[in-house]
């Protein structure tokens, strides 16, 4: 596993307060549940349950993404990215990231690395060691980000960076068998 934490580096550029992001399906730094792995890796491509608290006053929307910086790509791998999540939302059930998922009205899902607009599960290739999956929730100071429907999660990250009031990070892991 690599030591680099892209969100620590981002916080040095523009520090923001923390909010709390948790899951009933896995704990900070622990293994993702099998259901959150990709179907080709023995899982179900189901986004895990997520809950949060500590969204600051003045927040008007939320953005959430899942990123694996340890993928052998040189640029990481985006598994899921959503934005314009209503600020009144405090949790998402397991499976909310599927095509038939239970995302609140108005929430936008961007294409992941496989170019599908849904959560895709962990599938670290053999020989690449333990991968970290960064689930990141940002509370934003705008009602909505105006992005192209086919923008990349990196474009979302760039745009949300300038509107973030607080951030929560929850890391899960997956190790190839």
Percent with pLDDT over 70 in the chain: 99
33, 162 Cβ separation under 8 angstroms: no
Across 72-97, average pLDDT? 97
The β-bridge relationship of strands 20-22 and 61-68 is unpaired
Residue 27 has pLDDT above 60, yes or no: yes
pLDDT tens for each residue of 40-83:
999 999 999 999 999 999 999 999 999 999 999 989 999 999 99
Q: Which residue(s) pair with 85 in the sheet?
A: 62
Residue spans of alpha helices (H) in 1-70 = 6-13
Residue 127 has pLDDT above 80, yes or no: yes
- Residue carrying the six token digits 């986004």: 47
What is the predicted pLDDT for the residue at 102? 85
What is the predicted pLDDT for the residue at 54? 98
In the structure, what pLDDT confidence band is assigned to residue 94 with cuts at 50, 70 and 90? very high
Distances (CA, A) of 47 to 13, 117, 119, 134, 146: 29, 13, 6, 13, 25
Fold category of 6-171 in CATH: Phosphatidylethanolamine-binding Protein (3.90.280)
CA 99 to chain CA mean position, Å:
16
């Amino acid at each position: 596993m690599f030591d680099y934490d892209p969100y620590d580096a981002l916080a040095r550029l523009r520090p923001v307060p923390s909010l709390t992001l948790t899951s009933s399906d896995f704990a900070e730094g622990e293994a993702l549940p099998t259901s959150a792995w990709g179907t080709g890796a023995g899982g179900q491509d189901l986004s895990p349950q997520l809950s949060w608290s500590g969204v600051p006053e003045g927040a008007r929307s939320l953005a959430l993404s899942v990123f694996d910086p340890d993928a052998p790509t040189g640029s990481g791998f985006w598994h899921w990215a959503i934005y314009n999540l209503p600020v009144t939302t405090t949790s998402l059930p397991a499976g909310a990231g599927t095509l038939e998922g239970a995302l609140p009205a108005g929430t936008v899902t961007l294409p992941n690395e496989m170019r599908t607009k849904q959560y895709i599960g962990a599938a670290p290739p053999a020989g690449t060691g333990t991968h970290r999956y960064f689930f990141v929730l940002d509370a934003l100071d705008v009602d909505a980000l105006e992005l192209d429907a086919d923008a990349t999660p990196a474009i979302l990250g760039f745009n949300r960076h300038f509107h973030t009031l607080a951030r929560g990070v929850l890391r899960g892991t997956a190790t190839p068998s």
